[in-house]
Structure 1
């Protein structure tokens, strides 16, 4: 192919001048007065296409053409996929994400994709998605009433229950907005899916990768003090799940990790507990799966007092097994219902709330027992690196980022050591 390029003073100079090499492109002035620069570029499927860019002046068109050629030389390829976001997301969930993430994460991905991403972005072409499209979508998630968007109140009416807000006539919006955590999760989903589209050379760049979204990174929480923790355990002493709350506070287990524990995971002689499974409700079914991350699969040495709590719990469970008789269904679990079956995680939340009220301590989430554990460990002089090992985080940075209250105490302890500067 032989291409020519004119100049701003003489557009036909290229035709009368030297021949130009392949890929150098050409610039010409159109009948409408604009300048058109054309250049051959490589595509993501290995082919070549000729792309045109337009400028009001010769210089502007030349600058745009030069940038295209520089990007092409740097490895940037033009996307040729004609898929919509909906088509690609459905493919990605089944062929890529499903083989890479935990079942619980997969269920969250499907829910986010079907409820939010596809309704808002699904009709857009994958190759034409821009960072501004993703930013607009995420900002919209923060402001739209999710009860209205998902027709939650309409489903209540279909089930024979009274309308509360959007299904009323006249309509009353409850302004139920999506949490910052869910918006952040939606951003993570889009970013992961688009990164795989880049790897598979369906698009040239990830439109969600470098976005800076103004949502909070982590929700705030207030852990219990040591006095509050002791008061709670004292109130729960005679409760059948006293051992569950003890292990959540003493070694910071997640709720699903605690409920999935088996007696086979516990060594009462050496005082060691192995955490390698988690119990969660996924797609309406109680499911036992792997722990959250590779770092979450861990062994933890137990304090002697906690070993005694487990011994007492085993004796209590033996009594329940005998009382249940033929109704008992053995699963080998440490924490069970009265007939040996797995405990519904949401039931734990309600039971925990009642115990907080009985103990007269601040009402927190069950998961905040894990946060409280981190703070209490630091109060006892445990280094942040060791707290990381107990909680099963991938690095101390994660521990510091999430457990803000403990980090503040670390900062306070560090700066207090400079008090000698003011010693009179």
Structure 2
């Protein structure tokens, strides 16, 4: 051992897992220690250093990760093994269950099948880019065998297969990249990786979804066509006060004050882990009391009367959920069925086919065009900050501002090209 190199104490026996440092024939120092792996097992790994001190520092770092419950990244650890650990230990305890469900689906259906076998330490931006670029060309129905679970064979499972070309959209692919970035950044933060390869990947187009909203004329046309629909009040609430789909379906009569013209958003209905559940709203700011416009009070009053009639007709079969929007037997409404009903409604109203969530964007756009200030729109939509509101609807705000500035034309005389004789 070279002069000045500290040596470990020889007066005691090393504890199990403490590690052992020795000098190799090539002059480097090596330490071996048993650590936990992502799959919950134990494995002996080695760390190296040019000096005893360097090797000891690496050993201490590994032992510190072990004490914190962080799995060791070995040369054999795959992306799939790490993603499993990330979902279980990092993502699931810290996010809403509905968000976790989308993350789990992204990992299970796309990330693991696509790059799960690659070694975590060897993952490069080129690997990620090639995988993402290929996703848009692969039919997901074929890749995931969706037809196998269907009672009635479609496309791939027909006697004469016919590909339905169920390709992932650009927003879906960008979502996968965001999930992978978050997972790899956690690995960097825990000193499992030195860099986040996913941050080096850029996809075509913007990560920001272009919001689609109804014009005032389209909104009136939609509500006119929905007037006789038993869930007319649902579409009216979503459009008038910008409730999210889950928030509207989770709204209870106990949270609606028709006399005081206000409602309180406390919970949302989602399908989670195969069952319909009432969950906390998206953020702390989402839980708030919203004023109701007078016409909406009349709509909800009429809806309440119709629901009481349905309750009387159902008799003992009625499910007393206390929800504002229910099935004809009082049960919660399947969110996917709302999507189908809304698509049919848009077709009947002869308006652009948009998502149910775009009724929320329509609410914001219509408020801005009516001259409502951004701070008020923020409170109605219950965004976490004013920056979220202005950032999301920047194009709408700029358009309204241009229209307002154009009105200054009234103060200027019209150009007169005629010359006085």
TM-score interval for Structure 1 and Structure 2 normalised by the shorter chain: 0.7 to 0.9
* Distance (Å, rounded) in 1 between the aligned partners of 2:370 and 2:252: 29
TM-score (norm 1): 0.76
1:265 corresponding residue in structure 2: 255
* Distance (Å, rounded) in 1 between the aligned partners of 2:171 and 2:250: 25
Structure 2's unaligned 5+ residue stretches are 7-26, 36-45, 51-57, 62-70, 416-421
Q: Is the 8 A contact 1:222 1:405 kept in 2?
A: no
1:253 corresponding residue in structure 2: 243
Superposed CA deviations along residues 175-211 of structure 1, whole A, max 9, x for unmatched, are 3321122112111111111222223222222222353
1:366 is the counterpart of 2:356 = yes
Q: Is the 8 A contact 2:369 2:400 kept in 1?
A: no
Q: Which moved more, 1:372-381 or 1:136-145?
A: 136-145
User: RMSD between aligned alpha carbons?
Assistant: 3.8
* Distance (Å, rounded) in 2 between the aligned partners of 1:40 and 1:391: 60
Selected match of 1:232 from 222, 242, 267: 222
* Distance (Å, rounded) in 2 between the aligned partners of 1:421 and 1:179: 49
State the secondary structure of the residue aligned to 2:141: helix
State the secondary structure of the residue aligned to 2:167: coil
1:143 is the counterpart of 2:137 = yes
Superposed CA deviations along residues 89-112 of structure 1, whole A, max 9, x for unmatched, are 111111221111111111111111
Selected match of 1:377 from 343, 347, 367: 367
* Distance (Å, rounded) in 2 between the aligned partners of 1:305 and 1:262: 19
State the secondary structure of the residue aligned to 1:288: strand
1:200 corresponding residue in structure 2: 190
State the secondary structure of the residue aligned to 1:299: strand
Q: Is the 8 A contact 1:187 1:208 kept in 2?
A: yes
What does residue range 175-324 of structure 1 map to in structure 2 within 5 Å? 175-324=165-314
2:155 corresponding residue in structure 1: 164
Q: Is the 8 A contact 1:148 1:166 kept in 2?
A: no
State the secondary structure of the residue aligned to 1:274: strand
What does residue range 310-349 of structure 1 map to in structure 2 within 5 Å? 310-349=300-339
Q: Which moved more, 1:201-210 or 1:324-333?
A: 201-210
Distance 1:238 1:176, change over 3 A: closer
What does residue range 348-363 of structure 1 map to in structure 2 within 5 Å? 348-363=338-353
Selected match of 2:109 from 112, 115, 122: 115
What is the aligned residue count?
A: 371
* Distance (Å, rounded) in 2 between the aligned partners of 1:225 and 1:147: 35
1:97 corresponding residue in structure 2: 91
TM-score (norm 2): 0.76
Q: Which moved more, 1:183-192 or 1:203-212?
A: 203-212
State the secondary structure of the residue aligned to 1:175: coil
* Distance (Å, rounded) in 1 between the aligned partners of 2:253 and 2:149: 42
* Distance (Å, rounded) in 2 between the aligned partners of 1:85 and 1:225: 46
Distance 1:422 1:248, change over 3 A: same
Superposed CA deviations along residues 14-55 of structure 1, whole A, max 9, x for unmatched, are xxxxx9999xxxxxxxxxxxxxxx99999xx9x96237xxxx
Q: Is the 8 A contact 1:184 1:215 kept in 2?
A: no
